[in-house]
């Protein structure tokens, strides 16, 4: 009884739209990243060298630049004050690598400058994890027990995880905009290289927008399906 409802319910299209948006954004990022991974920057700096130079240019001396394994695993960790660059970014002199390295330095600058959305996002991490882990079990148990309040609590927890994804957006766009401006002003990238880096970082940011949109659609579906349960 429970499963057929999921397979034949028309709101399932909301999930499909979310999946399609995410796939399109990810395909766009892969294509753009691959394209500019093959374009060597004129300055000849590696991602690592560019990151060190950018951090120094901002007077940030307490952040380490480290190498991490994997692909697209690059991130800034505010707890350990480290810019972590993946194998393909750390030693590469491509436009894409320098753009990603600069983006992570953008997060280090946000941290150094007490950028409010970054702080809000960090504060939301435990809440969002809690919400993401408990929302579905609560919703499913709620449905099985026929209890509206458990389902409502599950939806509320799910919306906390969605909120986290929305707060992530200004943080990501701001880090990229700082990165592009700084690569330009320090002369690490010149001329059309600046626009090429911008397109890589925009494609990366779009994947966050797609993920947030997909989660919002999922939330909308939950509300459409269960929003009126209490009145039954």
Q: Which residues are catalytic?
A: 104
Question: Near Zn ion by CB under 5 A, which window of 15-23, 60-68, 150-158, 164-172?
Answer: 164-172
Residue 201 host element (H or E) = helix 192-226
How far is residue 180's CA from residue 29's CA, in Å, rounded to a whole number?
A: 17
Stretch touching Zn ion by CB under 5 A, among 61-69, 90-98, 172-180, 183-191: 172-180
In angstroms, what is the minimal distance from the CB of 103 to Zn ion?
A: 6
Q: How far is the CB of 213 from Zn ion (least distance, A)?
A: 18
Asked if residues 215 and 161 have their Cβ atoms less than 8 Å apart, the reply is yes
Residues 6 or more apart whose CB falls under 8 angstroms from that of 56 comprise: none
* CB-nearer residue toward Zn ion: 92 or 168: 168
Stretch that binds Zn ion, among 53-61, 133-141, 150-158, 175-183 (CB under 5 A): 175-183
User: Shortest distance, CB of residue 149 to Zn ion, whole angstroms?
Assistant: 37
Minimum distance, C-beta of residue 104 to Zn ion, in the bound complex (Å): 7
Stretch that binds Zn ion, among 44-52, 149-157, 165-173, 215-223 (CB under 5 A): 165-173
As a whole number of angstroms, the distance between CA 119 and CA 178 comes to: 17
Q: Can you give the C-alpha Rg of the chain in angstroms?
A: 21
- For Zn ion (CB under 5 A), the number of binding residues is 2
Instruction: Please count the other Cβ atoms lying within 10 Å of the Cβ belonging to residue 185.
Output: 10
Task: Read off the tokens for 116.
Answer: 């409010």
Of 49 and 172, the one with the shorter C-beta distance to Zn ion is 172
Residue 49: how many other CB atoms lie within 10 Å: 18
The DSSP symbol for 94 reads B
Beta carbon nearer to Zn ion, 155 or 172: 172
Contact string (CB under 5 A) for Zn ion, positions 48-87, x = contact: ----------------------------------------
Which residues have CB under 8 Å from 209's CB, separation 6+? Answer: 25, 169
The CB-side HSE value for 89 (13 A sphere, CA atoms) comes to 30
Nearer to Zn ion, 106 or 142 (CB): 106
Indicate the residue among 74 and 193 with the shorter CB distance to Zn ion.
Answer: 74
List of residues 6+ apart from 161 with CB closer than 8 A: 128, 131, 132, 135, 215
For residue 175, the minimal CB distance to Zn ion (Å) is 5
Q: Which residues bind Zn ion (CB under 5 A)?
A: 172, 175
């Amino acid at each position: 009884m429970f499963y057929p409802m999921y397979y034949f319910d028309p709101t399932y299209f909301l999930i499909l739209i979310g999946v399609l948006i995410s796939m399109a954004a990810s395909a766009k990022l892969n294509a753009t990243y691959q394209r500019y991974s093959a374009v060597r920057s004129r300055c000849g700096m590696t991602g690592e060298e560019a990151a060190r130079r950018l951090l120094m240019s901002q007077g940030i001396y307490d952040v380490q630049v480290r190498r991490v394994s994997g692909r697209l695993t690059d991130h800034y960790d505010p707890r350990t004050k480290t810019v972590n660059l993946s194998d393909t970014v750390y030693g590469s002199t491509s436009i894409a690598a320098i753009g990603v390295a600069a983006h992570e330095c953008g997060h280090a600058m946000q941290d150094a400058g007490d950028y409010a959305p970054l702080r809000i996002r960090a504060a939301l991490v435990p809440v969002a994890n809690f919400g993401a882990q408990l929302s579905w079990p609560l919703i499913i148990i709620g449905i099985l027990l026929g209890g509206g309040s458990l389902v409502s609590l599950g939806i509320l927890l799910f919306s906390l995880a969605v909120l986290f994804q929305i707060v992530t957006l200004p943080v990501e766009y701001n880090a990229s905009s700082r990165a592009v401006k700084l690569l330009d002003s320090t002369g690490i990238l010149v001329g059309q290289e600046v626009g090429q880096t911008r397109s890589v970082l925009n494609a990366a940011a779009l994947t966050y927008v797609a993920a947030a949109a997909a989660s919002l659609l999922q939330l909308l579906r939950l509300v459409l399906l269960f929003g009126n349960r209490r009145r039954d």
